[in-house]
């Protein structure tokens, strides 16, 4: 680990302080639980399908919890990005019960991300941004067991993001570290109007992530969680502070299409005592949701959850995304240029004439060529900075 890595990690830990569920189902250039300060380019759109699931066995049969969402992101400018995430489906399923309750659709998230602002932290170049979010209550059932707490009210959140990118010219092509710290107001003081100041539940969320990309794969890890800043209503199923660790990977099938898979592992959970009903009646009144049939049921969250998303980048009226049909001739032109820097004519003819060359392989070679060009541009920028520094002395 070099000096920059140590500075970034140390500063983030100082900002975190004590133990702090992070913002759900993020789109754009974000990871699964950590939003990135790298906003989409102006006119760029991303569409992502998300799913999260857990299943376990209990003496009465089985229980499962499945959520699915669609994230649509659009870049309006270098610094402004809009994200809309409708929850398509949420199902808590007990096999021992005949009547199953599910939401289809569930709530809707709207987020305004203002980021890509430049700065320095301990002389290390950083990017920062803020995100204003709203959760619009549109589900028929709220306060779901095993899910992060939410009342049947519209919620509001505000968070701060910090990003470090090793490759300043092309951030997506080098290792990066990300930090989010956010405030969530559940607006559960009154259901009839927006009441975010009186008798409401406050939540502090955090996430810390590291991503290392390669030509086809991204490997990443996220540490995220939450801590309640006020007492949670006694009727809430989820009243616990929690910390999760999620390792995962992203695979790029080809330009504009990729898949991400992660495994949430619960490291910490702390909430009010749960009553287990091995014997005796279920507690009455407001305490009814603190009861489980037995200790085989998770108290607040499951020990693990599987999360995945499929990312598609379509063309828009403002920004064109190349297809395979366009990539192939572009690759051939790049190989003509490549000949000038070391590829012989015979090697180029043999390569272009091979019958087994697929469009995907041509796309791969094109990315290699562009990576070399970008590395050369990076070295040129370093040389310019050095000349400026020498001039200033």
Q: State the average pLDDT over residues 33-51.
A: 94
- pLDDT for 209 equals 97
The band of 11, judged by pLDDT with boundaries at 50, 70 and 90, is very low
Does 182 lie in the same domain as 102?
A: yes
Residue appearing with tokens 């830990």: 13
In a domain, 34, yes or no: yes
Asked if residue 342 and residue 277 are part of one domain, the reply reads no
Is there a single domain that holds both residue 251 and residue 375? no
User: Are 62 and 197 found together in one domain?
Assistant: yes
pTM of the predicted structure, to 2 decimals? 0.74
216-226 pLDDT per residue, tens? 899 999 999 99
Q: Is 80 part of a structural domain of the chain?
A: yes
At residue 8 the predicted structure's pLDDT band, cuts being 50, 70 and 90, is very low
Cα–Cα distance measured from residue 100 to residue 113, given in angstroms and rounded to the nearest whole number? 37
Domain that holds residue 341: 324-392
Are 106 and 170 found together in one domain?
yes
Determine, yes or no, domain membership for 81: yes
Is residue 190 domain-shared with residue 108, that is, in the same domain?
Answer: yes
Q: What's the CATH code of the domain at 300?
A: 2.40.160.40
Q: Are residues 50 and 77 in the same domain?
A: yes
CA distance linking residue 44 with residue 46, whole number of Å? 7
> In total, how many domains does the chain have?
2
- H-assigned helices in the chain: 3-16, 324-339, 345-353, 359-392
- What's the pLDDT tens digit per position in 352-375? 555 444 455 556 666 667 777 777
* Residues 19, 109 share a domain: yes
**297 shares a domain with 357:** no
Q: Which pLDDT score, from 0 to 100, does residue 105 have?
A: 85
Both 268 and 369 in one domain: the answer is: no
Q: Is the pLDDT of residue 138 over 70?
A: yes
Among 312, 339, 369, which residue terminates a domain? Answer: 312
Closest by CA to 230, choosing from 198, 252, 257, is 198
């Amino acid at each position: 680990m070099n000096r920059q890595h140590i500075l970034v990690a140390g500063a983030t830990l100082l900002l975190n302080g004590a133990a702090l569920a992070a913002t759900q189902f993020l789109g754009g250039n974000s990871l699964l639980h950590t939003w990135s300060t790298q906003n989409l380019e102006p006119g760029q759109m991303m569409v992502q399908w998300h799913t999260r699931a857990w299943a376990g066995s209990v003496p009465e049969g089985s229980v499962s919890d499945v959520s699915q969402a669609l994230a649509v992101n659009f870049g309006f400018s270098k610094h402004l990005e809009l994200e809309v995430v409708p929850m398509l489906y949420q199902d808590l399923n007990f096999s021992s019960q005949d009547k199953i309750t599910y939401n289809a659709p569930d709530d809707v998230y709207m987020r305004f991300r203002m980021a890509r602002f430049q700065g320095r932290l301990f002389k290390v170049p950083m990017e920062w941004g803020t995100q204003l979010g709203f959760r619009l209550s549109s589900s028929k059932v709220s306060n779901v067991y095993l899910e992060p707490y939410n009342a049947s009210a519209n919620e509001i959140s505000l968070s701060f993001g910090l990003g470090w990118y090793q490759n300043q010219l092309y951030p997506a092509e080098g290792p990066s570290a990300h930090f989010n710290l956010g405030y969530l107001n559940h607006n559960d003081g009154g259901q009839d109007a927006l009441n975010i100041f009186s008798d409401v539940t406050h939540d502090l969320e955090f996430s810390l992530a590291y991503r290392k990309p390669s030509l086809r794969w991204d490997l990443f890890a996220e540490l995220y969680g939450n801590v309640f800043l006020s007492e949670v209503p006694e009727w809430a199923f989820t009243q616990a502070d929690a910390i999760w660790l999620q390792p995962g990977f992203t695979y790029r099938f080809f330009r504009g299409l990729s898949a991400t898979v992660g495994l949430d592992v619960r490291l910490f959970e702390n909430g009010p005592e749960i009553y287990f009903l091995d014997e005796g009646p279920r507690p009455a009144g407001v305490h009814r949701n603190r009861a489980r049939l037995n200790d085989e049921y998770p108290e607040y969250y499951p020990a693990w959850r599987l999360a995945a998303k499929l990312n598609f980048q379509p063309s828009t009226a403002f920004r064109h995304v190349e297809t395979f049909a366009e990539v192939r001739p572009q690759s051939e032109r790049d190989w003509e240029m490549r000949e000038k820097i070391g590829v012989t004519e015979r090697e180029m003819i043999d390569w272009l004439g091979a019958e087994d060359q697929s469009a995907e392989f041509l796309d791969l070679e094109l990315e290699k060529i562009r990576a070399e060009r970008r590395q050369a541009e990076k070295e040129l920028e370093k040389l310019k900075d050095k000349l400026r520094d020498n001039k200033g002395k």
